Amino acid sequence: MDSGASELDWVESYLAQLATLRQLSPHTIDAYRRDLRQLHLLAKGVPWQQLRQADIRRLTAILHGQELGPRSIARKLSSWRGFFGWLSHQMTLAANPTDGVRAPKRPKPLPKALAVDDAVQLVSSTPPGRATLTGAELCNRAMFELLYSSGLRVAELAGLDVAYSKGRDGQSASLGWIDLASGDVLVTGKGNKMRTVPVGSHARAALAAWLAVRPPPTDGSSALFLSERGTRVSPRVVQLRLKQHAIAAGTPVHVHPHMLRHSFASHVLQSSGDLRAVQDMLGHASITSTQVYTALDFQHLAAVYDQAHPRAKAK
């Protein structure tokens, strides 16, 4: 291309090559064109070879200040990076000015937790018009009560035994077990770290009711919770049973086992304010992983403020 070509001429030459050699769709080419024209506009016509990394960082900050999302900024940076990579073969550049420039981090979505009343209603609900539960329903109630009571991961729950076993007849030693006498559950979490978590009174009652009717496992294990075939329940089966139970109970959101873990953490933190204790009960190696629940706690406080404070809302 002629050395006197305008900056946008370079863009069109690049896009033509993308369309010809890479056979990108017209829609994709138009997206690249918009991104590169926006760069030209933000740079106020500064020649491409004069742009430096500091300029790209500044322009990225402008986009962020315009409330453009991290995903969109990352896409634009990708468009710009490809263009400058191509341009470096067409003219002399000191360096690719987009190298080392990253989009702002995407904010982590807050864990979804149930309200206290919704969580209690979910784990304790019974089929309408039924005075007694079947053995499978007693198993489900014990599982759901324990998930919410102790904040277990679904894999930790599925791995529980009725009591500690050293392992024999081809079975492994227990990685987790329930101790109703002391009111504790012992589990092996991530990094093979064991922890002890208290079990609430309602969960203990549900566990006792299930243990009273629990048949011997057909797989020779000491599994606490069983599938319909009498083998140790799998995490996937727990997920499906909880989903079906939540639908039958009329829970207004999609529920999965980790939501009960989030609900446990959020509700304990709301009541106690003890972040370190919640960290220990969840089995987090770093308190940074637990601090996300302080945001959930603030949401609770803000809701109470909005509902109760006479100056909270504009009249």
Q: Residue 278: what are its φ and ψ, rounded to 5°?
A: -65, -40
Q: Which of 76, 261, 262, 267 is catalytic?
A: 261
Measured CA to CA, the distance from residue 35 to residue 60 in angstroms comes to 12
Query: Of residues 153, 204, 245, 267, which has the active-site annotation?
Result: 153
Q: What is the model's pLDDT at position 77? A: 92
Out of 33, 81, 284, 300, the active site residue is: 284
Which of 33, 75, 258, 300 does the annotation list as catalytic?
258
**Residue 258 annotated among the catalytic residues of the structure:** yes
Rounded Cα distance between 209 and 120, Å, is 18
- Please state whether the predicted TM-score (pTM) of the whole model is above 0.85: no
Separation in Å, CA 83 to CA 30, 49, 57, 124, 140: 14, 12, 16, 59, 57
What does each of the 315 residues of the chain score in pLDDT, given as a tens digit?
Answer: 544 458 888 999 999 988 888 888 888 999 999 999 999 999 998 899 899 999 999 998 898 888 888 888 899 999 999 999 999 998 888 888 998 888 777 767 767 889 899 999 999 988 777 778 999 999 999 999 999 999 999 999 999 999 988 877 667 788 899 999 999 999 998 888 999 999 999 999 999 999 999 999 998 889 999 999 999 999 999 999 999 999 988 888 899 999 999 999 999 988 888 888 889 899 998 888 888 888 777 777 777 777 776 667 654
Any catalytic annotation for residue 190? yes
Phi, psi (rounded to 5 degrees) for 194: -90, 145
Q: Please tell me which residue in 190, 193, 236, 254 is annotated as part of the active site.
A: 190
Active site residue 293: yes
Q: Determine the 3-state secondary structure of 262 from DSSP.
A: helix
143/282 Cα distance (integer angstroms): 17
202 is catalytic: no
Is residue 315 part of the annotated active site? The answer reads no
State yes or no: is 153 an active-site residue. yes
